[in-house]
Amino acid sequence: MKSKFKKTLLTLLASVTMLSAMVIPPPPKVNAASDVTVNLSDQKQVIRGFGGINHPVWIGDLTAAQRETAFGNGENQLGFSILRISVDENPNNWYRELDTAKAAIAKGAIVFASPWNPPASMTETFNRNGNPSAKRLRYDKYGAYAQHLNDFVTYMKNNGVDLYAISVQNEPDYAETWTWWTPAEMLNFMKNYAGAINCRVIAPESFQYLKNMSDPILNDSQALANMDILGAHLYGTQVNNFAYPLFKQKGAGKDLWMTEVYYPNSNNNSANLWPEALEVAYHMHNALVEGDFQAYVWWYIRRQYSPMNEDGTISKRGDSMAQFSKFVRPGYVRVDATKNPNTNVYVSAYKGDNKAVIVAINKSTSAVSQKFVLQNGTAASFASWITDASRKVAAGSNLNVSNGAFTAQLPALSVTTFVAELGSGGGTGSGTTYEAETDTTLTNAVVETINAGYTGSGYVNFNAATDAAIQWNSVYCAVAGTKNLKFRYALESGTRNLDVYVNGSKVISNAAFTATGAWSSWGEKTVQVPMIVGNNTVKVVTTGTEGPNVDSINVTAQ
């Protein structure tokens, strides 16, 4: 069973998937049938990140070096920004999750948790389809179970891990060796008990994105209010079932995450097979473009079919994931792009941190010449990184932009990521700047004028304390919606993280502010946040022992 190694029930589903993946494509065209148009002002979903699960109770913990490889974003690192962990039914095992979780957070990742079973004292056996030993949560223990999840949240926080979210149940509809939940039981818990959980709540984590598990939640106002993230797994799910119209209709203000998958199979030593590993990038493309998912989370980070080999090196499947995870960073927004401009060519595009990112997959057995056209934004040139049969996220050529367009050669059976700094025509106006020292409330922070280059009458220096904060009290918006929030900051070395709150709600955890090189060298970081009509409060809070010096924020419409 997958609780130890992999899902046996899904072997047939994976085999069917592989048959379709291995069909020889029709003869490719050398020249693109159409251009890719990237519209930087046509925004889709905010990306939370990419990652996988660490499960030390079942397969052993990641080593210190493997944590660096997974969550670092340098050369030969995966750039993962999400870690999933398990809520063990035995609290005596909870300590085993701490080391990797703390290391991930230190690298700017967010951590969420999923349970497979409640404590044994809360469960009972019942007859399910002729199986008299099936297990479920006792109906009189729903409140106690909510407290059990709260206890895990508290334990992790008290030990240096501030969980981003916690799930109610891993795969409640695929529980041969763990705990079953019916849609009605999940609805009851979400409606009447989940509101007591002191963390963002993920539900229902159906193993195959079966909508019968989540439709009742979306159709019940109280259950929906208690759900922060709709989580789903994509084992055997067909691409034409990735879209979820009811979520688009009812899920305003909620996130949509793909919280577990391996693809296209979990065969032994399959992680480095090419072009099979290219299917991972294609699956990610479909999850992001067809499913509008905001997170993509693999099963085991380190396994013979996973992004990391058992020896801690990055596999070809990992390279495919890294073409997204290293460059499409948390808080970036997917923007509209021609998704299938040519036979076997698939494209998605993103923007954030004043960058444009384009990921192009060529499943053809011949190179393709592809033209890309930018709309509502300008760039001078695009850098490129390539993974194919012989390359592993290798730097490619720089491509100059002329008249708002560039043409690139997409190698056979490859994935290429293009990254550019956006110019002044990046699709947004100049916006409104709010100084950090004016009309703000400071907590364990002070206004300084020591380091040159600031604007206004000074900048704010966080005192060396956790939970130090700056709050801008009157950020005005004429139109509600997602806004670009650009920080002007300085940081001599290292990386420091801030939580971002809007109107009292945390909207971004552990936003990473990287070094600008000197305290008098001012850089910028842009994130996307929701705002209401009228005055808004914006607050940043240190999550380590320090933060960068902050000069101002600038708010623009997207």
| Contact status, residue 449 vs residue 458, Cβ threshold 8 Å | yes
Amino acid residing at 287: A
Instruction: Given the residues 97, 171, 276, 546, select the one marked as catalytic.
Output: 171
**Core vs surface per residue 104-140: b (16+ CB within 10 A) or e:** bbbbbbbbbbbbbbbbeebbeeeeeeeeeebbbbeee
DSSP state of 237: -
pLDDT of residue 522: 86
pLDDT of residue 558: 67
CA distance 177 to 116: 9
Q: Angle between the 64-71 and 98-106 helix axes, to the nearest 10 degrees?
A: 40
Please list, in sequence order, all residues whose beta carbon lies within 8 angstroms of the beta carbon of residue 178, skipping any fewer than 6 positions away.
3, 116, 117, 135, 170, 171
Instruction: Quote the CA–CA distance of 558 and 545 in Å, as a whole number.
Output: 32
Q: First and final CA of the chain: distance in angstroms?
A: 46
Helix (H) or strand (E) holding 213: helix 211-218
Q: What is the C-alpha separation between 36 and 25, in angstroms, rounded? A: 21
Contact 179, 189 (CB under 8 A): no
Tell which residue, 335, 241, 255, 246, has the closest CA to residue 293: 255
Distance CA 429, CA 490 (A): 24
| Helices and strands (H, E) in the chain, number of each type | 11, 32
Q: State the pLDDT at residue 350.
A: 97
State yes or no: is 260 an active-site residue.
Answer: yes
Taking the C-alpha atoms of residue 380 and residue 191, their distance in angstroms, rounded to an integer, is 52
**Token pair for 503:** 């109107």
Residue 2 CB contacts under 8 Å (≥ 6 apart), including other chains: 8, 10, 299
**pLDDT for 18:** 40
Decide: residue 259, CB within 10 A, 0-12 exposed, 13-18 middle, 19+ buried: buried
Alpha-carbon distances, residue 101 vs 35, 74, 184, 357, 395 (angstroms): 43, 19, 33, 28, 30
Selected catalytic residue, list 260, 279, 435, 437: 260
Run of H or E residues at 544? none
DSSP character at residue 147: H
Residues 203, 171: Cα–Cα separation, whole Å: 9
List, as one string, the DSSP characters of 242-255.
S--HHHHHH-TT-E
Omega of the bond prior to 275 within 30 degrees of 0, cis?
yes
Pairing, β 549-557 against β 505-514: unpaired
pLDDT (tens digit, 0 to 9) for every residue of the chain, 558 residues total?
Answer: 344 434 444 444 444 344 333 444 444 334 446 999 999 999 999 999 999 999 999 999 999 999 999 999 999 999 999 999 999 999 999 999 999 999 999 999 999 999 999 999 999 999 999 999 999 999 999 999 999 999 999 999 999 999 999 999 999 999 999 999 999 999 999 999 999 999 999 999 999 999 999 999 999 999 999 999 999 999 999 999 999 999 999 999 899 999 999 999 999 999 999 999 999 999 999 999 999 999 999 999 999 999 999 999 999 999 999 999 999 999 899 999 999 999 999 999 999 888 999 999 999 999 999 999 999 999 999 999 999 999 999 999 999 999 999 999 999 999 999 999 998 533 334 568 888 988 789 999 999 999 988 887 889 999 887 789 999 988 877 677 899 999 999 998 888 999 999 999 999 998 999 888 889 888 899 999 999 877 789 999 999 778 999 999 998 876
DSSP 316-382: HHHHHHHHHHTTS-TT-EEEEE-S--BTTEEEEEEEETTEEEEEEEE-SSS-EEEEEEEES--BSEE
The residue written with tokens 């595009």 in the block is: 349
Q: Record the tokens describing residue 311, joined without a space.
A: 């020896």
Helix/strand/coil for 530: strand
SS (HEC) of 58-120: HHCCCCHHHHHHHHCCCCCCCCCCEEEEEECCCHHHHHHHHHHHHHHHHCCCEEEEEECCCCH
Buried b (16+ CB within 10 A) or exposed e, 167-193: bbbbbbbbbbebbbbebebbbbbbbeb
pLDDT at residue number 21: 39
Asked if 436 contacts 460 with a C-beta cutoff of 8 angstroms, the reply is yes
What are the b/e assignments for 26-51, b being 16+ CB within 10 Å?
eebeeebeeebbbbbebbbbbbbbbb
The pairing of beta strand 179-180 with beta strand 131-137: parallel
Has 205 been annotated as catalytic?
no
Query: What pLDDT does 431 receive?
Result: 66
Alpha carbon 186 to chain centroid, angstroms:
25
